[in-house]
């Protein structure tokens, strides 16, 4: 039995520039996970999990399931990962004649910008590497995981999530266009979580929205040469560089940079009332706040236990959960 695990990702600064030759800093945290089990088998067998269920107790049960998890489960992600891995294996003369039975489970809250989809793909890829006794370099593996989602399933996304999940540690990422064009991946610098200030996450599951909503519109405007979008990408890069310089020097006073990241996003992309409320309520306590990804979950810094207590109380008042992430 092969068992592999991948964790959700929280984007700390720079997103959503990661799909546009930008710079970001992100980490994975162990409070939730996607897990894969793989066994040798006579036939290749993909076992669906509860999210793929086709039987419900009522119409309300079905509606609640769709609201929480969307219309698509994880089997398509498993299939896409296997296809991409097979293509890589063919190119590198890796024998994939042995079949297997593969199943997955995930408790990562869906559609909150926590990279739950790529966590499933990452865990599948790790299981396939172990089963076929091969090792794929981390930067290349991140590219393959992105390809499974973006090329095979047409999910709008960037590399940031996959890099953080493959490295399994906080990572500074520079997706410089020259590097990307020359070698296919950027500069990735893993670093110790001790450099980071006190961080919280807060989320409301009733605000879930797929990342494709944000990415697809940005991609269209970026491709069209929208001046505001092009300028914003440069500003997100600059915010990330400033953040990286501060924490590298032992300075954890980065709240203003986190707030600026969100403010820039809000100037470009419509923000729903519920998502805007998350930000405003967090900031009312003195905490910094921005989205971890596409919306529904926010991330920020707090200064002390008094501020954290106030933050928890304020978030409870709007039905939001506050989590101090167990950063990997």
Q: Quote the DSSP letter at residue 151.
A: I
11 closest CA partner among 178, 199, 192, 145: 199
State yes or no: is 176 an active-site residue: no
Do 150 and 157 meet the contact criterion of CB atoms below 8 Å apart?
yes
CA distance 72 to 217: 21
Place of tokens 């924490």: 247
As a whole number of Å, the CA-based R_g of the chain is 20
Per DSSP, the three-state class of 70 is: coil
Distance (Å, whole) CA 113 – CA 274 = 15
What gap in Å lies between CA 202 and CA 220, rounded to an integer?
A: 30
Strand partners, 126: none
Distance from C-alpha of 255 to C-alpha of 203, rounded to nearest angstrom: 19
**Cα separation of 304 and 310, whole Å?**
10
Catalytic residue among 31, 135, 161, 217: 161
- H-only helix segments in 39-99: 59-69, 75-91
Which residues are registered as beta bridge partners of 2? 38
Long-range contacts made by residues 274-279, C-beta under 8 angstroms, separation at least 24? 274/204, 274/206, 274/207, 275/207, 277/318, 278/202, 278/203, 278/204, 278/207, 278/315, 278/318, 278/320
Dist. CA 10–CA 136, nearest whole Å: 24
Q: What amino acid positions are annotated as catalytic residues? A: 161
């Amino acid at each position: 039995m092969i068992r592999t695990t991948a964790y959700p990702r929280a984007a700390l600064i720079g997103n959503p520039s990661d799909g546009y030759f930008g710079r970001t800093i992100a980490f994975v945290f162990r409070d939730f996970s996607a897990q894969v089990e793989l066994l040798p088998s006579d036939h290749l067998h993909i076992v669906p999990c509860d999210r793929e269920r086709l039987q419900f107790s009522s119409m309300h049960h079905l509606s609640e399931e769709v609201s929480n998890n969307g219309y698509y489960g994880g089997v398509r992600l498993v299939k896409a990962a296997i296809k991409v891995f097979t293509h890589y294996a063919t190119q590198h003369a890796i024998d994939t004649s042995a079949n297997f039975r593969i199943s997955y489970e995930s408790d990562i809250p869906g559609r909150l910008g926590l990279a739950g989809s790529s966590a499933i793909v990452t865990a599948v890829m790790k299981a396939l590497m172990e089963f076929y006794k091969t090792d794929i370099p981390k930067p290349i593996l991140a590219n393959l995981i992105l390809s499974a989602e973006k090329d095979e399933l047409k999910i709008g996304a960037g590399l940031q999530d996959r890099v953080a999940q493959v490295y399994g540690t906080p990572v500074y990422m520079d997706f410089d266009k020259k590097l990307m064009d020359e070698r296919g991946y950027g500069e990735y610098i893993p670093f110790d979580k001790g450099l980071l200030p006190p961080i919280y996450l807060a989320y409301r599951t009733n605000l879930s929205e797929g990342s494709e909503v944000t990415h697809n519109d940005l991609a269209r405007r970026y491709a069209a040469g929208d001046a505001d979008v092009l300028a914003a990408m440069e500003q997100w890069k600059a915010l990330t560089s400033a953040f990286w310089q501060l924490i590298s020097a032992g300075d954890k006073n980065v709240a203003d940079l986190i707030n600026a990241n969100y403010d820039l996003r809000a100037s470009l992309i419509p923000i729903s009332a519920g998502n805007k409320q998350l930000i405003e309520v967090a900031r009312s306590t003195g905490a910094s706040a921005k989205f971890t990804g596409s919306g529904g979950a926010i991330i920020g810094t707090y200064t002390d236990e008094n501020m954290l207590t106030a933050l928890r109380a304020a978030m409870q008042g709007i039905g939001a959960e506050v989590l101090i992430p167990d950063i990997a």
